[in-house]
Amino acid sequence: MLILKFVVPTIMKSDVFNFLVLGAGAAGCAVASRLAAKHPDASIALLEIGSRRYTPSVMRIPFLQPFITQWPGSWRFLHRYAGVPEDNLGGRSLTYVRGRGLGGSTLCNDMTYRRGSAEDFAAWGDDAWTFAKMLPFFTSLECNSRSTSPVHGDAGPIVVSDLSLSNLDSQLNIRFFEACEAAGLRPNEDLNGGLVDGFSAYQSLIDRGVRVDLFDACIEKCKHLTPHLSLWSNTNVERITFDDTNRTQVTGVEVRRGGVRRWIKSPRIIVCLGAIGSPALLLRSGIGPQGSVVDLPEVGQNLIQGCTADLIFLIQGGEKRIRSKSFNWTNLPYIWGQWKEYNEDRAGILSSFAEAVAYVRSQPTQNPADLSIAFFRTPQLGWRNGVRLRPHEGFTLRITHHYPQSRGEVRLHPRTGKIQVRSGMLSEKDDVLCMDMGIQWAGLLVAKNSNLRSVYYTDNQDQHVGPFAALDVRLVHPSRGMNTQKETAAFLGKFSTGSEDLFGTCALQHVVDSQMKVQGIEGLWVADASVVPLPTTASSSVLGAAIGARVATLIA
């Protein structure tokens, strides 16, 4: 019997909108909601590769954040980009995990609310993008528990909350703050007021014990007011299209949805795919080094990623049991009680993740503070193969260098077209030295000896000691400790990771102009963290949302 094979041609359907917003992450949601409010008579489409499915509990309960990448139920909401092997990382290649769904990477990030310092914005060298100019967009987006402050708002869609007193006043957090004070650091009541220095508790994107859903906050809750805003989920944007006669005018995008290729037409496109996705789309569309549409050498270059390293400490002593957030079999009764409290009241240790932080300087003359030491009441972080369940109480100090000199790149594989990311992390010696100073700072804060004296604690000889001295803490990761810069460099090469906050690959003044329009192209904007040209302490999601809100006001 003769079997005939028929090749069914791909059907190119077309739709038309006044505006296209690509990506439903923090920036895309901010852009789409502001455009919908500004242009009630315009048709707007928000395109997202991820689905509308409801996220699993591991992605909504704050304390479970470290388990997200290991939980099979969350994998459909994640996209993993493979890095290339790098000599400065001992031949390792980093994996970049980004959100793939409504809300983007806010589905899986650490939820900390960080705007960055005023000096960060001043360094951009553009008077249109100072901290003062950006402040109204930060405040208009937030519904902040500090709404009485002149630098915060209470009428925006995104809930920003302070740590609950029960978590803030834990014995371990108190000792961390006291150690910072003993080390000469000053308290900072608001790290989002323009000065990022000293020690404080984090504010977070957590609403009554649950991770804030940015898509729900910005888009879903007001959809009855925006019938002209269409959501296209499960839509993969393949490339931007241009006019046949005027190659610098955008005409729309080619997408694939449900196995069907579509051409979505629009004269105005706002790209909000993040520091990896945005340059990749431009490169696929002929915008980049020796591009077929326009030659922009800096597209995909200047990737800014801070270096991060976790130090894990075991609590061996103490006059009475110190409770950490340790997930282990000896702690099951306590964890079970906390689980019941969370289910009943959305309170307790499961209702928060990142709680306390100190910003310090690698050198006395460094300004602004370039290192953060985040304090986590759990020993479960930082292991090479994911979260480890260890039968002890403990805590983690996470050191991050926010102002690296090293730069990486996002590129397309010349044969397959797949996205490749090179972090460039630790390729500059000064970055290694700065991380070494951060590790020394961490050692000082947990010191047992007279290097750190606190007015609150004394030993058996009535000599003042550090707040952690009585707990007899021991470093368990790395197990051998670090006593020289060479040992620190070896530890970083083996265990360091990159910060989740990525910037710079569509940089202001190099790829986009002051209006965030792509240079040499009509009708195309980039409005996310990829436009940030220089290092910052900001969260890429928080800053990206504010940039998106501002860009929406600049588009006619």
Q: What is the pLDDT of residues 136-163, one digit of tens each?
A: 999 999 999 998 899 999 999 999 999 9
pLDDT above 60 (res 2): no
What architecture is the 12-115+212-302+412-424+501-556 domain classified under in CATH?
Answer: 3-Layer(bba) Sandwich (3.50)
Percent of the chain with pLDDT over 90: 79
Average pLDDT over residues 273-287: 98
Domain boundaries along the sequence of the chain:
12-115+212-302+412-424+501-556, 164-201+304-406+427-495
CA distance linking residue 95 with residue 490, whole number of Å: 20
- pLDDT confidence of residue 324: 79
Q: Which residue has the tokens 């402040």?
A: 135
pLDDT tens across 32-72, in order? 999 999 999 999 999 999 998 889 999 999 999 999 998 99
pLDDT bucket at 9, cuts 50 / 70 / 90? very low
Helix (H) or strand (E) run with residue 45 in it: strand 44-47
pLDDT for 385 beyond 60: no
> What is the SS3 string spanning 253-276?
EEEEECCEEEEEECCCEEECCHHH
**CA–CA dist 497, 411 (Å, integer):** 20
Class of domain 164-201+304-406+427-495: alpha beta
Whether the CB-CB separation of 453 and 447 falls below 8 Å is answered with: no
What are the beta bridge partners of residue 255?
237, 262
pLDDT of residue 392: 78
Question: b/e per residue, 212-225, with b = 16+ CB within 10 A?
Answer: bbbbebbbbeeeee
Residue for token digits 């019997």?
1
Return the pLDDT at 321.
65
In whole angstroms, how far apart are CA 119 and each of 158, 353, 448? 25, 28, 36
In whole angstroms, what is the distance from residue 527 CA to residue 545 CA? 8
Residue type at position 525 = W
pTM: 0.94
Predicted confidence (pLDDT) per residue in 86-125, tens digit? 999 999 999 999 999 999 999 999 999 999 999 999 999 9
Q: Is the pLDDT score of 447 beyond 90? A: no
Rounded to an integer, what is the distance from CA 70 to the centroid of its chain? Answer: 18
Name the CA radius of gyration of the chain, rounded.
24
